[in-house]
Structure 1
Amino acid sequence: MAAEVQSPYTEQFENPSFRPVGWKNILSSSYSPGTYTVCGEGGHSGGYISVKQYSSYFSSYYKNYSYSDLLATPKVSGEVSIWVRKNGTEPALTFYKLSDQNTVPSSYSAPVLVEGTEINMVEGVNVDSWTKITVPGVADGTYIGIRAHDLDLDEFTATTADVTPFKLLYCKVDNQSGTTINANPDNTYTINFKVTMENAGDVDFGGIAPVTVEVINNVTQSTFGSGEVTGSLPRGVKIEKEFSITGTHVTTDDVKAYSYSVVLSHPDMSSFNGSLGSIIFVPYLPAPKFMYNEGNDANQNNFTDVDATEFITIGSGASPSRTLWMWNSGIAEMEVTSTTLSGGFVADVNAFSLAPGEKKAVRISAASGAGLKEGVVTFTEKNLGDITYGLQALVTEAG
């Protein structure tokens, strides 16, 4: 936005809701909380700002260049002054020279510290009542970072100031789906998240075009889905909008947890990328587990998974048999259309269905006739196909 040159320039801090136009708190969206209090009346010329910090903070006052405590003026030049009045026992005021030749890592370009005088400008000065502090000969294009302690501040003036209203939009994205998302019955997924937007700049934002909201799979760089935020966002207003976006998750062979992000775009803002974190996507399928426990009790918690690469020992004796359990640990119904066995083994089930989380007992018996019996049991599932386990039993002659 075009700069407005004002000569002379005066800021009287009359607006309790906003920083003055063209002023900034470095790395902060408003007057720094706990640092600046805006007072509507009682100043040298009406409203003023009051700075009152903890006494322990004063001990590191000069050396601790805390960005959030620097209230940056517009670019000024010539003679600069400010009126001050103490409100505590250790009043201090420091002007830091700032430059826009560098930027701090933030969502907007802000002036940064290039030189600190480390001089308390009110040391030895009686500031019991409103007193004018003057700095002559400020070079053209200088930002001043004001830092104070136990002081009221009012009526900042400069010979010339380039006041540039700036646009500043703070954005935040919160994942409300968690780190694991189950598929819908059509194997799409729904990601729930909240977008927070705050207009911390000098001018109203938006209204001409919507803010585009895109959900991006960072692993495959594919777009999962999109939405938008419509309407204008006046200065100082914060909005929160919840989204439920459904799309198709694109996978690769070697990734389990996928990094996702939300990208906000608008002609009047730099693109914002908010992370949703790493998400595990669970497909809408059954997940069979064949298990056993020694007590043959479905309510016991000491189940052991059967290793599909090894034989299941059915037992030994004249008529060995064993109860095993099929458990559907997936999120979709499991539908076994048939159960077939080889090697002379038999089972007491054929076709059956299991809801997610449900278990079913399967009794398997070996055929008669002495000797080592080996075979397989195959469960044919509607969506997964054949699920096969090896069987083994030692049959002895009846005594």
Structure 2
Amino acid sequence: MKSKKIQSILEFAKNASFNRDSRYSRNSRDSRDNRGNRGKVNKKNKYRKNKTRVNKTRTSLSRSNKPVSRNRKTKKNLHKHRVRRMRMRVDAINPSKHIRKSIAEDEGIQRHPDGFIKLKCSPKIQENDFTCYSNESLMKLKSLWNARHPDVVITSNEPREIWESLKGHLKNVCNKESCWLKQHFASTGVDKEMLNYTFAPKSPDDWKKNPNEWLNSIDIENVMKQYEREFPFFDFIGAAPIDFDSPKMYGECVWEELCHFDLNISIRNGKKKVGFVFNTDPHYLSGSHWISMFVDLPRKFIFFFDSTGNPPPKEVKRLIKTITQQAKTVGIDMRYIQNNKHHQKKPTECGMYALFMIINLLRDKMEPEDFIVDIFPDEEMQKFRHRYFNKDL
């Protein structure tokens, strides 16, 4: 009976491949422990030696052939190596997954859970319906990308394919194309033209709490400067306080550009249309109500627009008279048109009415008479907030 047991142990030892490697035998482990502790009394080693003597008296089975179980540390290390080898095999099978991960890590932003968001573009003429970027801007972004990521270069010269490649490479990083300009590959090579005139301006953070927050002068100017850029024949002046022509110290006016406005100079500079926005408060107050005016030389009219239907203040009347006289000196008889319709019912959308009027007359989408005949309710102006501004960039 005893011989059968010994025989089964010998058979198991013969088939156990790990026993053939001396690194996993107890004798070799003892020798490694003793090498690091020569000359020292080690109770643990002493116990192992005594245990070896007992084992030798019990059986003649060679210790090097006896099966042994690995300790916890050895098992942990082996598991770590197995996991590492498995990951290497997965990366070899699917290299694109590894590339996208390294790009996301390089750009330093976690994957956004939402889908891709289409933003509102600036008023410039769009070359492609799928992007706010011009073809020139896409080629620039392609060059910057290839310089930063030579392992995943974009080879196509087609705008759509370049855009799709950038979108695919950065899908773990960005959920809108304006985000591309904030990444490392574009941080040094993007000019102000691309930064400021590709997308509609970002709406103020206050709008997140109050979507109907009234526009300030910066909001109005941010929109109008993009239209100035797109329409070289257009000049915007404002947003100015109503006392723009009042004298200040040293003989200057509150708003010099308006105080000394000369239509003939504008004509010499190639300007054919001029937009004005005024606030009915003087410069030393916080502001109360936005009103606007539009001068169209080709169609020969001056249109004053107050969304509440009120007539122009005396300061604006003086400016209208000045412009009319200046136009006559170059042979243009301007007709004056004034809105008398009460469009605005709520106290928040006066700034949007001012933008809406100027933009539509600038683009020849509407006539001044449209504002006199039709009523444009506040709800319509609230919708245009999402057209003239982006919630986030």
TM range, normalised to the smaller chain?
Answer: under 0.3
With normalisation by structure 2, the TM-score equals 0.23
What is the TM-score of this pair, normalised by structure 1?
A: 0.23
Instruction: Flag the structure with higher helix content.
Output: 2
**Higher alpha-carbon Rg:** 2
